[in-house]
A and B are shown apart, each in its own frame.
Chain A
Amino acid sequence: AQSVTQPDIHITVSEGASLELRCNYSYGATPYLFWYVQSPGQGLQLLLKYFSGDTLVQGIKGFEAEFKRSQSSFNLRKPSVHWSDAAEYFCAVGAVAGGGNKLTFGTGTQLKVEL
């Protein structure tokens, strides 16, 4: 069975500082990987996705993530955080079989940005 671990429940960074959110997955083969962001009381917005190919993936809002097969990781990064980035971030893995339909989410990381 697939699973996702987000080790950090809360992270606080200063505005303008760099950010890295950790995500480790468990899956028997190369998975589909996603990062979503959720603002309070809202649905999820897709930041970026990895299906295959280049292991460094660029997303929206200046975010990027790197797939590292040897470490079973898909960490999210941003070089300079903005106050509007404060939100909950979810990493998800999708089984390749079935076209990545069935998503398993991590428990999320709450990002707080200090001005």
Chain B
Amino acid sequence: GAVVSQHPSWVICKSGTSVKIECRSLDFQATTMFWYRQFPKQSLMLMATSNEGSKATYEQGVEKDKFLINHASLTLSTLTVTSAHPEDSSFYICSARVPGSNQPQHFGDGTRLSIL
């Protein structure tokens, strides 16, 4: 149980385009999902917390207009990287937590984004 699916797994696109990444909880409903960014050989940095039916909460230093988050249903959150540039190239990972107390976050397999 507690499977999180992320799509696509790999994206290569030209500079200036917008890219949408989907994060789905397959076998549970997630009122809260999380988006992380991971640079090569580094740890995960929380970008934002996605709340179903309300605005996402962004971490300090993360541009809200650059990284648009939508959590329209209890099983789907999307991250859109708008007008992507080479410096946005990274590994993006989402996670979701099963509702209730004492539940860990479960992670998707990540999306490798490469901006040319």
Interfacial residues, chain A to chain B (CB-CB below 8 A): 32, 34, 36, 41-46, 49, 51-52, 90, 99-108
Contact = CB atoms under 8 A, between A and B. Distances in A.
Contact of B101 (A41, A43, A99): A99
Contacts of A45: 107
A106 B46 contact: no
B91 to A, nearest CB: 8
A42 B32 contact: no
Contacts of B105: 46, 101, 103
B43 A36 contact: no
B72 interface: no
B104 A100 contact: yes
A88 B82 CA distance: 30
B93 interface: yes
A35 to B, nearest CB: 10
Given A45-B107, A108-B42, 6 more contacts: A43-B4, A43-B109, A44-B95, A46-B105, A46-B107, A102-B49
A10 to B, nearest CB: 11
Contacts of B101: 99
A43 B42 contact: no
B49 A36 contact: no
B50 to A, nearest CB: 11
A47 B109 CA distance: 15
